[in-house]
Every structure is written in C-alpha cells, then in structure tokens.
Structure 1
Amino acid sequence: MTVRLGINPLTWTNDDMPALGAETPLETCLSEGREAGFSGFELGNKFPRTPEKLGPILQQHGLDLVSGWYSSQLLARTAEEEIEAIQDHLHLLKSLGARAMVYCEVTDCVHGNQAVPVSQRPVMTDEQWDRLCSRLNVVADHCLEQGVQIAYHHHMGTVVESEDDVRRLMDNTRDSVGLLLDTGHMLYAGGDPIRLQRDYAHRIVHVHCKDIRPEVLADARNRDLSFLDAVLNGTFTVPGDGCIDYPTLFKGLQAADYNGWLVVEAEQDPAVAHPLTYARMGHQGLVQACEQAGLEISR
C-alpha cells in the first residue's frame, strides 16, 4: 500500500481568520505547493467551487484535489436536510476524484471566535449525542454510495474534540463514518494520536499532519486562549518541527495498510512562518517519517 502527500492552503491563507494571507493569490499557493513537492491540495476559501472551473486549474499545476472541509449542522437540521445541503460539495469532490470529505459538526462551535477560549467549547448531552450519531450514519451512508467517504474531523472548539469524544463517536456510528485523524488537534485536546490510530486503525480514512510546539501549547492552556490566538502564538507547526512522534504513528498506519493522503495542515501566521519555507519543511518531515516507517509514497 502507498500513501500520497498533500497540503492544505492554510499554510498560505487562513479560512478561520481570512486576514492571514488575504493578499496571497491562489496561483501562489498552488505553484509553491507543487514546488515543495506535494501532489495535491485540500480546498480553501480562494478555490473555485465547481469542477468545471477548479479541475483545469489543478491540472495546470499537476495537482489533484485531496478533499475539502464541510461544516455540518446535524444537531440543528435533519439528515435529509443535511444531505440536500451537501450536494454541491459532494459533487465537486466526486467529480475531481477526491475519495474523502473532511466533515465536522459546527453547531455552537467556538474555534472561529477569537474572543472565546476553547475551554468554553460546546459539550453535548446524551440526547444530542444520539441525535448526532444517528443522523451522521444516514449522511455517511449517502456519501459513501456516491463514492466519497466522510472523514470526521475532531476539532478544537467543537462538540467532538477530545479523545473520549472521538471514541464515543466511532463506537456509536457505522463504518461508513470514517475518521480523520488530526495529530495536532488530538494532542492539543489532551489525547494521544498514536493510541487513537492503534485503536481505530480500520476507521481512519484521512490524516492531517500538524505538529505541536509544546511550550507554546502549555502557554495557550495556561492563559486559556482561544483557538485563533493559539494559532497566532505559534502553537502549530509542520511535521518534524514539533514534539509529535510521526515515525511511530506512521508505522501504525503502515501496519494497518493505510493508503490515503497524509496532509500537512498546520495553521500559522504566514507573515511569521514563511509559507514556502514551511511547505518544504513539512514535505521533508513527512518524507523522512515515511522512510523510517516503511511507508511507500506515490505521486
């Protein structure tokens, strides 16, 4: 089995805080990402959202569409309403060959609000958990029938954040609900991404590779910062520039025959962390960890 290396445009321009990298055109993101060695990109706010427009742009740069974020509101609307709302996004991913959809429940989320610390993130009642899981099963079944699997993204500041949250979600949904393992978010939430990979290897369909600067994370927790302030302070970085043991994690992926994308998705201020420099650093970090783990990389 082989993996492919992709990157998220957050390295250049931020969706949660659009002022970061606002002046950077899509052309720069794509050309520098390709120069750094990546084979594909996830979607960002500067990407056209129809396959007719986006396909030729990616083809011009020799890039594939990896996936794209979808903001779910299943706690507020029915599965049928969510399926209706997801159609354009699903069509885009399916048309351009993406096999996984980055999917996150955002009802009452706080990660995009710089004034609210992540400690005040929403926590679901038992009834809400049942509602989310049952509706998510229906949406996931529909997407999988269309050839795109939901990759549920546990995310700071949302209803599914901690390791216990992820376990409860996985244990109460069908296999059609895939897991997006985000190393940086899991460590930030106090969990262990390596343990989670080991225990739910068969459910992982997508991996976000962001590293953590432990001393900056400790400061963010100590001062009870918002997610965006933690980003601005430099909590996240690219693989190999922080404390996460990627070779061990990737050995687990190799043992589980993982054959999806490994995506550098490290939110930083591009005015501080030069995008091309960190894109190259992230690519090299992934290559080195893959070599140590025996994971074969394909273009």
Structure 2
Amino acid sequence: MKIRQDRLAINPLQWVASADGWIDPSLAPTLQEQLVVIRDAGITALHSAVPGDMPPKDYVERLAEHGISPAPGYIPVRLTEDAAERQTFRDTAARVAAQHAELGVPTVFLAMGMAKDAERVARPAVGHLAEQGRLERVRDLLAEIAGIIRAEGITPAFHPHVGTWAETEPETRFILDTVDASLLGFGPDMGHLAWAGADPAKLVRDYADRVASVHIKDLDLGLAARAREAGWDYRRTVLAGLWSEPGHGNADIDGFVAALPDDFDGWLIIEVDRGARPTPQESVRLCGEWAAEQAGS
C-alpha cells in the first residue's frame, strides 16, 4: 500500500520514558515545546491527548498553528470489582470518544491497562497465568467499553499490549473472534505483538477488514526472545534496550505495512516507548526521517 503523509503520526512517548523503565507523564515538556520539535521533524499528525484544561477546539487550533493534525488517541481500562472505578472507566471512555468526535478523528485505540505491580508486568509477553474465565471477563469489559465509544460515533480499535490480560496472539484472536466486528475494530501495535512472539503481519492479514489504525514500533527481536525465555520483567526488558526508532531495530516494519489492505485509510502512529537516542528530541527527529522516507517511497 502507498503510505500517505497525512496518515503518519507520532505518539511521542520518548519524552515520558522514566529512568526505571516505565512511563511518567509528568516528564513531558509543554505541548508547545513538543509541537515545535514534532513540526521540525516533519511529522504532521499527533496522537490525540487533549489536556484536561483545554477544550478540544482549542487543542485542534494549537496543533494547526504548527501544521499538525490530531490522530487517534488511547483509552486504557482494567478489570475491577470496584463499581466506582468501573464507572470511572465508562465515563472516561465516553469523554475521550466525545473529544475524538469533536476533533474529527473517527478512531480511538482501546486497550487493557497496566500497573507496575501487575502479575504480567512481572512476567510479561508469555501469557502468564492465562485463564479462560478471566479472558472472557476481559472480552466482556472491552465489548462494554466499545459500545460506549460507538455511541459517540467513534470506532474503538482493540490494541493488545504486553503486560496486560490481553497480550498474546491467542488472546488477541479470542477477543476479535468473539466480539462482533460491527462493535470492535482492530488497532494492532506491531511491537507489542512481536514482543509477545506473535506474527503481527499475519494478524493484520487475517483481520484486514477490521484494522482501523496501527502503531508502528521497532525493536530488538532477539532481546525480546531472550527476555521471554529468561523470565525478565517488563521494566528490565525495556531498560535492556528493547525499543528503538523505526529502521534502527530488526522488526519487519515493511512486512507489517505491506500486510495492510490496499484501501487502508487509517493512521500509522509511530511510537518509541523508550528512545535509543541520547535525547527525546533526537529520537523524534529520527522518527520524522523514517516517516519522510515512507511517504516518499
């Protein structure tokens, strides 16, 4: 497929990668500072994350001042028996979906969330403690939240993620096979699927009619395999150098992109969870170089 420049976006996680191998949003520079770097890197779309004190209209205008458009954002949810917490997830999903509608972005990624002390964070990417009853509850939760998102006119795209109760290829297939396509789309992250030993391109081909948007990552596949075999935890694997900027690891990005349908009209969102470069700014610049090469090919 031909990659469109206006469908290449970034989620600049390299700014919030913390020293302990996790994510700390407080590390992020101001939106203005991020937009300048992203613009100068030649990237023209940004993962949507509307600040809590900013109306969506103002957010779009702020991005437009730098020639940047909003791209699909992200909604994480977790299994919980706490009624108030579950209602918070419902309310957040409705709010973010409504924001996407106002932004003019028709898709949002929907994933199970993580916590530092989670069992699969301690033993990631291998389907640790897999249990069918729990997986069915995960499926039911995702279907419920997907319905809330659909009510706002937005397509929820299921996003498997290492360290959660929906990380492996069999879990991905179960959820997609048991939730109707009219309710839940697919938003694969090639890096997280590959870390868990899956074949991301095959999953894209098998569920081609449901792929709404995707996350592009590069990684060290050999390190991922060693970490799975040795039982490393999530943060140790990340700190060992799992992630890199696109074109600087050995993941089959070209094969993943080639697996997308010819009429694919979603976003390809570059994510570098932890930059391999000395600074986030340099990491973003390299992401921009890769994006320019793809759009020009």
- For normalisation by structure 1, the TM-score amounts to 0.82
227-236 vs 173-182, which deviates more?
A: 227-236
Partner of 1:6: 9
SS at match of 1:240: coil
Q: Deviations over 1:124-153 (max 9, x none)?
A: 533333333344334323322422111111
Identify if the C-alpha distance between structure 1 residues 2 and 126 changes in structure 2 by more than 3 Å, giving closer, same or farther.
Answer: same
Whether 2:161 is the aligned partner of 1:155: answer yes
Partner of 1:244: 251
SS at match of 1:205: coil
Q: For residues 16-95 of structure 1, what are the structure 2 equivalents within 5 Å?
A: 16-18=22-24, 22=27, 24-43=29-48, 50-73=55-78, 76=81, 81=87, 82-95=89-102
Q: CA separation in 1, counterparts of 2:257 and 2:127?
A: 30
Q: CA separation in 1, counterparts of 2:173 and 2:232?
A: 26
Q: Check whether the contact 2:11–2:269 (CA below 8 A) recurs between aligned residues.
A: yes
Q: For residues 126-145 of structure 1, what are the structure 2 equivalents within 5 Å?
A: 126-145=132-151
Displacement after TM superposition at 1:37 (Å): 1.5
The aligned length equals 288
Partner of 1:202: 209
Partner of 2:231: 224
Partner of 2:272: 266
Instruction: Structure 1 unaligned segments of length 5 or more: list them.
Output: 293-299
SS at match of 1:181: coil
Q: Quick check: which one's strand share is greater? A: 1
Q: CA separation in 2, counterparts of 1:211 and 1:134?
A: 31
Q: CA separation in 2, counterparts of 1:291 and 1:77?
A: 50
Displacement after TM superposition at 1:223 (Å): 4.4
Q: Deviations over 1:250-286 (max 9, x none)?
A: 222143x11111111011157x443233223223334
Partner of 2:198: 191
Q: Check whether the contact 1:113–1:226 (CA below 8 A) recurs between aligned residues.
A: no
Identify if the C-alpha distance between structure 1 residues 136 and 113 changes in structure 2 by more than 3 Å, giving closer, same or farther.
Answer: closer
Equivalent residue letter for 1:51? P
Q: CA separation in 2, counterparts of 1:236 and 1:34?
A: 23
Q: Check whether the contact 1:47–1:54 (CA below 8 A) recurs between aligned residues.
A: no
Q: For residues 267-282 of structure 1, what are the structure 2 equivalents within 5 Å?
A: 267-269=273-275, 272-282=277-287
SS at match of 2:187: strand
SS at match of 2:38: helix
